[in-house]
Amino acid sequence: MAVQAFTNASVLIGDLDASPFTNKVSSQVTVEMLDGTVCGTGGFRSYAPGMRNGELSAEGFADYAVGGTFEKISTGDGGTSTLMSMAPIAPGATLTAGDPCCFMRGPLDQMTVGPDGEAAGLAKFGIHIANDSVFAMGVVLHPIATRSTTASGTAVALTGPTLTQTLWAGLHVTTGSGGTLTVRVQTDDNAGFTTPTTRITFTATTGPVAMGEMKFLVPVNISTETHIRADWTITAGSFMFAVNAGIVQNV
Amino acid sequence: MAVQALTQGKVLFGTAWTGTAPGPPGTQTVAGTITSSTDISFWGKSLSTPEAFEALDASGFGSGGFRNYVAGMAAMQGSITFFQDYAAGGPYATLSAVTLAKTLTYWDVQPVNGARSATNPSLVFAAFMTSFDFMTAATGEVMEVKVGLQVTGKWAHLIA
């Protein structure tokens, strides 16, 4: 166990790896409470949980160069549904498959991407999204990295989902050219992946995926599956991408 | 008589109760303990458990020119802030899935982590978790997770 300082993190917004520009993050899930107080409750209020909401935001410094915050997130993206992912990285460590993460898709409802800041200060950037999907807390399947050949990722222990749960996965492709990338999420009942089954297939792409992609597996009971991994095919060229997955209770 | 610093506070958490549980219906006499509780005191930084009793304005022609209040319902909205830890047994592993699943949870907080007594009472309550931070911090800060708690039904102070 280790309480840790926030000194490093992976922050991905659509096709932007925002980690080098970010100095503050917030990721919160909330549950609405409905007052269900009736007669005879001894004078105490009672509540029932309602809808769940997710919010993700990141703040930091703007970069107007190619590949920076301004090029990747423009005013025209406002309101567009975008995948955002966050994963903590312990001081001195690197992000690896199996590390915890959260990810969510939703409209970019607050943006600071144009010139913003004080004279002689650093220009700022800021992003906030509200969810139009679930708020998933899960595991990193493929930390952001460049690949140029077809391969499979590291097996990560993750059991399920059951019929009352849904498997969600998110894909960020930040750069890519020269061929086609197809990413899949597979599960198996053993860490060696001797009998893998593809559960989710992302849309094939020939370049960066501007808003990222988040998909889910139609609820099915695969509670005997104990491991999960990313798997990808690259016809030619090279692609920088990241894959996350999480199981969310359907309630 | 002694002012007490919260240096060894206790925070126990669980999803089942042995005995007569706090929570609805609100007319019970609460007793017992959390079943298979998880002690997450180690990560605790602060807690807020304001016990609120609604004061309903009953001022009228007969209140002599003074506002007059009568007691209404009792309700508590609490919060506990932990230092975030993603390892097994820590706040993330213990609380994140329960929040998303909207599970009714039981809590037992105490000034000093030890046996209940008249001078070391437990506040026990049933609550739904209303918020959970996966990762909220600025660079250079210790990561914290603030857990919002909507207490439902009756809570109690137990000394045994």
Q: Report the complex ipTM.
A: 0.86
In this prediction, residue A44 has a pLDDT band, given cuts at 50, 70 and 90, of very high
Residue in the block written with tokens 């045994």: B160
Convert the pLDDT of each residue in A79-123 to its tens digit.
Answer: 899 999 999 999 889 999 999 999 999 999 988 887 788 888 899
**CA–CA separation, B157 vs B124, rounded Å?**
6
The identity of residue B124, as a single letter, is V
pLDDT confidence of residue A2: 85
Q: CB A217: neighbour CB atoms within 10 A? A: 18
Convert the pLDDT of each residue in B95-118 to its tens digit.
Answer: 999 999 999 999 999 999 999 999
CB-based contact, B102 to chain A, within 8 Å = yes
Please judge whether B143 and A3 are an interchain contact, meaning their C-beta atoms are less than 8 angstroms apart.
Answer: yes
> Where are chain A's structural domains?
9-36+46-249
| Residue B119 maps to a domain | yes
In this prediction, residue B2 has a pLDDT band, given cuts at 50, 70 and 90, of confident
| Residue B117 maps to a domain | yes
List, as one string, the DSSP characters of A94-147: ---TT-EEEEEEEEEEEEE-SS-S-TTS--EEEEEEE-SS-EEEEEEEEEEEEE
pLDDT confidence of residue A117: 80
pLDDT confidence of residue A1: 54
Q: Of A174, A181, A121, which is closest to residue A149 (Cα–Cα)?
A: A181
- HSE-up (13 A, CA, CB side) for residue A149: 1
Sign of CA dihedral A166, B93, B80, B105: positive
pLDDT confidence of residue B4: 82
Please judge whether B89 and A249 are an interchain contact, meaning their C-beta atoms are less than 8 angstroms apart.
Answer: no
Shortest distance, CA B67 to any CA of chain A (angstroms): 22
Average pLDDT over residues A149-162: 97
pLDDT confidence of residue B1: 65
**CA–CA separation, A136 vs B140, rounded Å?**
26
Residue B95 φ/ψ, nearest 5 degrees? -115, -20
CATH number at residue B65: 2.30.110
Q: Which two tokens stand for residue A193?
A: 């992946």
Given a cut of 90, whether residue B75 has pLDDT beyond it is yes
**CA–CA separation, B130 vs B147, rounded Å?**
7
- What is the residue-averaged pLDDT of chain B? 94
**CA–CA separation, B63 vs B82, rounded Å?**
47
Average pLDDT over residues B69-76: 94
Given a cut of 90, whether residue B20 has pLDDT beyond it is yes
Q: Which of A35, A41, A44, A140 to mutate to test the interface with B (most CBs of B within 10 A)?
A: A44
For B95, name the nearest residue in chain A, comparing CA atoms only: A137
Please judge whether A7 and B140 are an interchain contact, meaning their C-beta atoms are less than 8 angstroms apart.
Answer: yes
Helix (H, G, I), strand (E, B) or coil at A80: coil
Residues of the domain holding B106: 10-158
Q: How many helices (H) and strands (E) does chain A have?
A: 1, 16
Given a cut of 90, whether residue A239 has pLDDT beyond it is yes
Give how many domains chain B has, as a whole number.
1
Please judge whether B26 and A44 are an interchain contact, meaning their C-beta atoms are less than 8 angstroms apart.
Answer: yes
Given a cut of 80, whether residue A76 has pLDDT beyond it is no
| Residue B3 maps to a domain | no
For A103, name the nearest residue in chain B, comparing CA atoms only: B134
pLDDT confidence of residue A86: 97
Please judge whether A43 and B73 are an interchain contact, meaning their C-beta atoms are less than 8 angstroms apart.
Answer: yes
